[in-house]
Structure 1
Amino acid sequence: MFENLTDRLSHTLRSITGKARLSDDNIKDALRDVRKALLEADVALPVVKTFIDQVRSQALGQQIAKALNPGQQFIKIVQNELVSVMGAANESLDLAAQPPAVVLMAGLQGAGKTTSVAKLARFLKEREKKKVLVVSADIYRPAAIKQLETLATEVGVEFFPSSSDQQPVAIARGAIDHAKRQFFDVVIVDTAGRLHIDSDLMKEIQDLHQAIKPVETLFVIDAMIGQDAVNTAKAFNEALPLTGIILTKADGDARGGAALSVRQITGKPIKFLGVGEKVDALEPFHPDRIASRILGMGDVLSLIEQAERSIDKEKADKLVKKVVKGQRFNLEDLRDQLQQMQNMGGLTSMLDKLPGMGNMAQMAQQANMTKQFKTMEAIINSMTPEERRNPDDLNGSRKRRITQGSGTQIQDLNRLLKQYKQMAKMMQKMKGNGMAKMMRGMGGMLPPGGGLPPGMGPR
């Protein structure tokens, strides 16, 4: 997300960094480029105008901090204003109500609403330790009811059954009564979506809202429809007392205009970002961290939090001990590392959160690294345990058997073995002496001028 905006802003802000002072002329030039970058990112025009006016007035009236040069000060002003536009801080769900706390989900068809119900249920269950019940009040699309039932099973929360011959209000009330009897903490109610805003949809959801009085009314919108997302959110906000927004498909939106516009237009905070199709791909929305990512400064805090949740500490400790003792790094260890990386959203997601690595993240995406990692894992899985531990023993016939079993080519296997040997060599350098040697070893894996490790670029 924000790749295009990050590229444009990085180029613009580099041109002003190092200026001896901030003047009308250089601020005017920089702001013209910033304005163009925001409009190209599909940010709403009123939001762009307010943003530019705020940055201009602060930059011209700013006392330059002693620790920063004028160019750095300008970047700090832009970052602060980005945070201000998106909301000062993360706003979590307000579930401080007599249980069960009811959460109503609204949105147009195709925005990812039903999937977001499951993602939110998983989030509340795993991170907030809540007992969650989900129910579908979408009586027009029986497939939606079945979809939610399947997803509820996948994330390990209870599903309250419903059918298309019932009324939405009756369904929701039945679920809430069940939740009270069974001591659930939260009930999440999925509602019917439409392909466009219409009076029937609004009347139905207004009646449902009035009947169940939810503590949170969340509007789910697709980040990829840009300006339309903001206009739709505005229409729903006028019809319903929304408390927050879930922005879905953020990983597929290179522009990011909806994220920068929707708070300002509706006055409602973005509470979560959907960043993938998997049920764990839901992140709390932190404006300060998103602003850092837009300006190419990374998001190390989110990366650390993600690592704490995703990494198998036992396997990580085992590998560290093995490497320090100088024991051989094998293909089973490599497979574990690939799986850990996938658990953290893949290489692209990780690089995107590291300062100054935005271009590397885009390169990884263009090279389709996720697919290459899955290919590597499939090849390793096709080997016997003995072959994974001793890959040097692989001969021609064994290689043919492995590639046939994994549906790959001999060159895929040879590429994997080459990459493995480089990693094993690097691990050997780490024996007993820690991080300094590892960093030197990693430096040797990168080609001059950066880029992806050898053998892992596009085919």
Structure 2
Amino acid sequence: MFNNLSDKFEGALRKLSGKGKISESNVREAMEEVREALLEADVHYEVAESFCGNVLNKAVGAEVLDAVEPGQQMIKIVNDELIELLGGERSVDPETGQIIAPEHIMYVEPGPTVLMMSGLQGSGKTTTCGKLAGYLKKKGKSVMLCAADLQRPAAVTQLQVLTEQVEAEVEGTGSVQFYGEPDKVAAYGEAVGVAVDVCRNALKAAKREKVDVLILDTAGRLHIDEDLMGELRRVNAAVMPHQIFLVIDAMTGQDAVNSAKAFNDQLELDGVILTKFDSDTRGGAALSVKSVTGKPIRFIGVGEKLDNLEEFHADRIASRILGMGDIVSLVEKAQEQVSEEEAMALQEKMAKGQLTMEDFLKQLKQLRRMGSMKSLLGMLPGVGKALKDIDLDDKQIDRTEAIINSMTKAERKDVKLLDNSRRRRISRGSGTDQKDVSQLVKGFDMISGMSKQMAGMGAMNRLSAMKNMAAAGGPPGMGGMPGLPGRKGSSKAQQKNNKFKQRKRKKR
């Protein structure tokens, strides 16, 4: 995400890195490039103008510290302004001096905390209700999903199915249950006010069941009209939700921002949820919505799975845009999948050189739950750009799992047992080539040796080793990177080099 914008920001700031001092002329020149990049990213015109003006004023008026290069200070100024633009709400603990992150959901006691979801049809509102329930379940909350969208056919059934999927597929100590009145949909599908009764009844049921959070999935339209807003206002007045979230499609750019402003003008919003955030290569909606509506982005949808909903952190997104990675989010993703005890046990195995294919298979499954390989490696500082022209094939993880699953327990424990006869059997059982099995074993031997070396390193040295591993080809069996099994594509530079070699052979 933000690939084009990141390139433009990096190019503009690179011009300032070699300057002896920051002057109005060179900053103004850089900001012209940034302004053009923001407009190309479908950022609101006034937002782009304000951002560049603020950076220019702060940069020209700033005193350059002796210990900081002008280019570095400029990056700091741009980073702070990006955080502000994205809606960074930061307060400082007076005792510790540490920054306190804002609460994405304010819970009430006694419960239930009532969340009202609104949005246009097609924005992913109902699916987001399911994802939000999954997010809350992982946090140990009990949740009730109320099907109050009585206008769209099958909306009630969809939410009921999502409830069952979240309860079955999303791991967590909480629980999710469904509330709906399908008979009212069939009899009074077009009647105004029926949704209000359903929401009232859902609130009574939530109190009776003593759930922590009640999520109301209200009706949407293809466009904003008085009937829609009238129904939402009546639900709001009847149930008095503690927070109202607007769900918008990030890929619609300024249309999404305009919808958010129209909703907020008629219904006081508490926050915005951006769906399809991982597919939004421009970033116009994310960069504009807070400035235009005054409402912060609370969550972002980053995939199709029910656990692909993340808290929105302005400082982390700003860091990604400037190519500085997002180590904090990467660590949080890892902590969700791996307990501290498991991590310590694995570290001890790595230090002793006792890593097995069984351990590797477990790691692959955990990586799959964390997200795509490209998105994960892109969170490492400096790696995102290196991966831009490389097509990572996540399906290689399926093939790698199939190979390992075709091994016996003894073979997983000791890969040295894998002679040619065993490798042929494994390739037939996994539906892969024998060379794929050999490459996986070779890669596993390599990663085992590197893991043993990295176990004795400090944190910064381990990070450096991870970056070098990603640039060189990444972990074994991950495919899609040059020189690894299951490569789906190669970088543009490699493709040109291969064509050059082919032409050279023809001349001979």
TM-score by length of 1: 0.90
Matched residues in 2 for 1:263 and 1:325: separation?
Answer: 51
SS at match of 1:219: strand
1:336 lines up with 2:368 in the alignment: no
d(CA) in 2 for partners of 1:153 and 1:386? 38
Decide which of 99, 123, 134 is 2:111's aligned counterpart. 99
| Helix, strand or coil at the partner of 1:122 | helix
Following TM superposition, by how much is the alpha carbon of 1:428 offset from its aligned partner in structure 2, in angstroms?
5.0
**Superposed displacement of residue 31, structure 1:** 0.5
Q: In structure 1, what residue type is equivalent to 2:159?
A: L
| Structure 1 CA distance for aligned equivalents of residues 219 and 315 of structure 2 | 33
Instruction: Name the CA shift for 1:182/1:448 in 2 (closer, same or farther; >3 Å).
Output: closer
Going from structure 1 to structure 2, the CA distance change for 1:191 and 1:363 (only over 3 Å counts) comes to same
Task: Deviation per CA, 1:91-146: give whole Å up to 9, x if none.
Answer: 5222336522211101122222112112212222322x332111111113343222
Residues in 1 aligned to 2:416 and 2:76: alpha-carbon distance in whole angstroms: 53
Q: Which structure 2 residue ranges, 5 or more long, are not aligned? A: 90-101, 168-175, 189-193, 475-479, 490-508
Q: 1:166-196: per-residue Cα shift (whole Å, max 9, x none)?
A: 5211111111011111212211001122233
Matched, 1:140 2:151: yes
In structure 1, stretches of 5+ residues that fail to align are none
User: Partner of 2:248: helix, strand, or coil?
Assistant: strand
Distance 1:362 1:311, change over 3 A: farther
Q: Is the 8 A contact 1:135 1:189 kept in 2?
A: yes
Aligned to 2:92: none
Q: After TM superposition, give the deviation of residue 401 of structure 1 in Å.
A: 4.3
Is 1:402 equivalent to 2:403 in the alignment? no
Structure 2 distance, partners of 1:319, 1:51, is: 46
Please list, as runs of the form range in 1=range in 2, the aligned pairs for 1:214-225 lying within 5 A after superposition: 214-225=241-252
2:171 maps to which residue? none
2:75 — aligned with what? 75
Contact 1:422–1:445, Cα closer than 8 Å, also in 2: no
User: What is the CA deviation profile of residues 62-105 of structure 1, one whole-angstrom value per residue up to 9, with x for unaligned ones?
Assistant: 22233322222221111111111112324522233652221110
Whether the 8 Å CA contact 2:473–2:484 is kept in 1: the answer is no
Q: 1:349 aligns with which of 354, 367, 375?
A: 375
**Matched residue pairs, number?**
454
Distance 1:217 1:31, change over 3 A: same
1:446–1:453 CA contact under 8 A, matched in 2 = no
2-structure distance, mates of 1:24, 1:205: 50
Q: CA deviation at 1:219?
A: 0.3
Q: 1:449 Cα shift?
A: 11
AA aligned to 2:230 is K
Specify the alignment match of 1:16 in structure 2. Answer: 16
**Partner residue in 2 for 1:454:** 483
Q: Residues 377 and 383 of structure 2 are in contact (CA less than 8 Å); yes or no, is this contact kept in structure 1?
A: yes
Aligned partner of 1:326: which letter?
A: G
Aligned with 1:362: secondary structure? coil
User: Given the alignment of the two structures, is residue 201 of structure 1 paired with residue 228 of structure 2, yes or no?
Assistant: yes
Deviates more, 1:117-126 or 1:401-410: 401-410
3-state SS of 2:221 partner:
coil
Gap change, CA 1:22 and 1:206, over 3 Å in 2: same
Partners in 2 of 1:122 and 1:139 — Cα distance?
A: 23
- Judge which range, 399-408 or 157-166, deviates more: 399-408
- Identify the residue that residue 31 of structure 1 maps to in structure 2: 31
User: Judging changes above 3 Å, is the alpha-carbon distance between structure 1 residues 195 and 405 closer, same or farther for their aligned structure 2 residues?
Assistant: farther
Counterpart of 2:289, as a letter, is V
Report the Cα distance in structure 1 between the residues aligned to 2:439 and 2:352, rounded to whole angstroms: 28
Partner of 1:372: 396
* Separation in structure 2 between the aligned mates of residue 199 and residue 58 of structure 1, nearest angstrom: 44
Conservation of the 8 A alpha-carbon contact between 2:377 and 2:470 = no
- One-letter identity of the residue aligned with 1:120: L
Q: Partner residue of 1:421? A: 445
Q: In the aligned structure 2, how far is the partner of 1:286 from the partner of 1:440?
A: 25
The one-character-per-residue Cα deviations of 1:264-296 (angstroms, maximum 9, x if unpaired) are 111111111111112222221111121111111
1:227 has 2:254 as partner: yes
User: Is the CA contact 1:447–1:454 (under 8 Å) kept in the aligned structure 2?
Assistant: no
CA distance in 1 between partners of 2:206 and 2:217 (Å): 15
1:47–1:447 Cα change, 3 Å? closer
Matches within 5 A, 1:229-244: 229-244=256-271
Take 1:125 and 1:384, find their aligned partners in 2: how far apart are those partners? Answer: 36
Q: 1:158 — aligned with what?
A: 177
- 2:335 corresponds to which of 288, 292, 308: 308
Q: What SS does the corresponding residue of 2:165 show, helix, strand or coil?
A: helix
Range with bigger deviation, 339-348 or 132-141: 339-348
- Deviation of 1:38 (Å): 0.8
Structure 1 pair 388–449 and aligned structure 2 pair: CA distance change class (3 A): closer
Structure 1 residues 275 and 442: alpha-carbon distance in aligned structure 2, compared to 1, 3 A threshold: closer
State the one-letter code of the partner of 1:455: L
Other-structure match for 2:97 = none
Quote the RMSD (CA, aligned, Å).
2.7
Q: Is contact 2:350-2:448 (8 Å) kept?
A: no
Task: Tell me the residue number matched to 1:43.
Answer: 43
Does structure 1 retain, via aligned residues, the 8 Å contact 2:59–2:77?
Answer: yes
Report the Cα distance in structure 1 between the residues aligned to 2:472 and 2:329, rounded to whole angstroms: 29
Aligned pair in 2 of structure 1 residues 40, 333: CA closer, same or farther (>3 Å)? same
Partner of 2:198: 171
Distance change >3 Å, CA 196–CA 440, structure 1 → 2: closer
8 Å CA contact retained: 1:360, 1:452: no
Mapping of 1:111-130 within 5 angstroms? 111-127=123-139, 129-130=140-141
Q: Would you say the 8 A contact 1:312–1:340 is kept in 2? A: no
Structure 1 residues 48 and 421: alpha-carbon distance in aligned structure 2, compared to 1, 3 A threshold: same
Contact residue 445 and residue 454 of structure 1 kept, 8 A: no
TM-score for the superposition, normalised by structure 2: 0.82
- Deviation per CA, 1:281-327, whole angstroms, max 9, x where unpaired? 22211111211111111222222222222214444333222232333
Q: Report 1:205-284 matches (<5 A).
A: 205-284=232-311
Moved more, 262-271 or 282-291: 282-291
Partner of 1:359 in structure 2? Answer: 385
Amino acid at match of 2:407: M
Shift of 1:222: 1.0
Deviates more, 1:180-189 or 1:441-450: 441-450
**Structure 2 vs 1, CA of residues 283 and 410 (structure 1 numbering), >3 Å: closer, same or farther?**
same
Shift of 1:201: 2.1
Partner of 1:88: 88
Identity %: 47
**Contact between 2:112 and 2:212, CA under 8 Å: does it hold in 1?**
yes
